[in-house]
């Protein structure tokens, strides 16, 4: 295993070598991120948001499904509490990702905050399961994987935002993009995961909250029930996430 000490001041040649090693691993992600980013940008434009909003979100949020949620909230009566709860639940899996990466991020100095921020599903899969080639700095390797994946997403959101602004008419079907995204994510997770307990908890919690609270008020209670359920079953769920990540082919979502 390569040294994990901070090498922020590494020679340009070492940084370039790490980039050359990281780039091929991110190529399968490029097409998916650009296409989905374009969809996100067009969706934001169809809601009446200016082109720079999806671009800004892709830079400071960098969580595809969460950005769809935030865009829909910004276009209407913004409810910070509901938005926070929904985004927290959508990205709760990152808690397990972070725990799994504690040792790999140790000693990386100034790179560490960005690596934590940019740890989407695909980046986690590569950085968790891949050791850089001999002689390649691991800190810079993981940083390039993270930066390249975010670059693809930002590029897609920029193209989509500009296209959504330039097209005068509403693109039919774009409003269904967020629903489709969550359905695809759910089915993909169901297929890849070695346990389905977290999915069952989510379905059951949403159904119970919907029956009790009604369609207008079920969201936050459902989020609370899901959090409680996931917390109570964490010891069974966490190992399965790590195992699934090592078998991930790098394709999928933000």
Q: Is there a single domain that holds both residue 239 and residue 177?
A: no
Q: What is the pLDDT of residues 209-225, one digit of tens each?
A: 889 988 777 877 887 88
Q: Is there a single domain that holds both residue 119 and residue 201?
A: no
Give the residue from 147, 182, 217 where a domain finishes.
182
Q: Is there a single domain that holds both residue 139 and residue 56?
A: yes
First to last CA, the chain: 28
Asked if residue 116 belongs to a domain, the reply is: yes
Give the residue from 152, 182, 212 where a domain finishes.
182
Q: Is there a single domain that holds both residue 216 and residue 105?
A: no
pLDDT of 95 strictly over 90:
no
Q: Is there a single domain that holds both residue 176 and residue 210?
A: no
Structure confidence at residue 171 as a pLDDT band (50, 70, 90):
low
Q: What is the pLDDT of residue 34?
A: 94
Spatial CB neighbours of 50, under 8 Å, sequence gap ≥ 6: 161, 165
Domain range holding 176?
12-182
Spatial CB neighbours of 194, under 8 Å, sequence gap ≥ 6: 240, 243, 244
Whole-number average pLDDT of the chain: 82
The four Cα atoms 244, 18, 111, 104 give a dihedral, to 10 degrees, of: 40
Q: What is the pLDDT of residue 41?
A: 92
d(CA 177, CA 183): 10
Instruction: Of 65, 244, 26, 21, give the one whose Cα is nearest residue 150.
Output: 26
Against a cut of 0.85, is the pTM above it?
Answer: no
Give the residue from 135, 152, 182 where a domain finishes.
182
Residue 238: half-sphere exposure toward Cβ, Cα within 13 Å: 12
pLDDT of 229 strictly over 80:
yes
Q: Is there a single domain that holds both residue 241 and residue 129?
A: no
Q: Is there a single domain that holds both residue 157 and residue 224?
A: no
Q: Is there a single domain that holds both residue 128 and residue 154?
A: yes
Q: Is there a single domain that holds both residue 175 and residue 202?
A: no
Place of tokens 């390249």: 148
Total domains, the chain: 2
- Cα 140-145-149 angle, rounded to 5 deg: 145
Q: Is there a single domain that holds both residue 132 and residue 68?
A: yes
pLDDT of 182 strictly over 80:
no
C-beta neighbour count of 155 within 10 angstroms: 17
d(CA 107, CA 197): 35
Q: Is there a single domain that holds both residue 47 and residue 169?
A: yes
Mean pLDDT value across residues 112-122:
93
């Amino acid at each position: 295993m390569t040294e994990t000490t901070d090498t922020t001041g590494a020679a340009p040649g070492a940084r370039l070598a790490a980039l050359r090693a990281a780039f091929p691993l991110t190529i399968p992600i490029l097409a998916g991120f650009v296409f989905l980013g374009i969809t996100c940008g067009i969706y934001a434009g169809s809601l009446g948001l200016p082109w720079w909003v999806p671009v800004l979100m892709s830079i400071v949020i960098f969580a595809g499904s969460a950005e769809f949620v935030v865009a829909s909230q910004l276009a209407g009566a913004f409810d910070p509490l509901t938005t926070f709860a929904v985004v927290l639940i959508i990205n709760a899996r990152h808690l397990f990702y972070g725990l799994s990466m504690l040792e790999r991020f140790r000693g990386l100095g100034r790179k560490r905050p960005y690596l934590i921020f940019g740890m989407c599903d695909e980046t986690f899969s590569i950085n968790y399961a891949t050791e850089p080639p001999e002689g390649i700095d691991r800190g810079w390797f993981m940083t390039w994987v993270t930066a390249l994946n975010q670059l693809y997403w930002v590029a897609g959101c920029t193209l989509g935002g500009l296209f959504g602004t330039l097209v005068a008419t509403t693109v039919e079907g774009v409003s269904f993009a967020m629903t489709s995204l969550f359905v695809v994510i759910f089915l993909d997770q169901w297929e890849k995961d070695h346990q389905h307990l977290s999915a069952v908890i989510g379905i059951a919690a949403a159904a119970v909250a919907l029956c009790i609270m009604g369609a207008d008020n079920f969201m936050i209670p459902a989020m609370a029930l899901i959090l409680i359920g996931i917390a109570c079953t964490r010891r069974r769920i966490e190992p399965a996430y790590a195992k699934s990540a090592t078998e991930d082919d790098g394709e999928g979502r933000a």
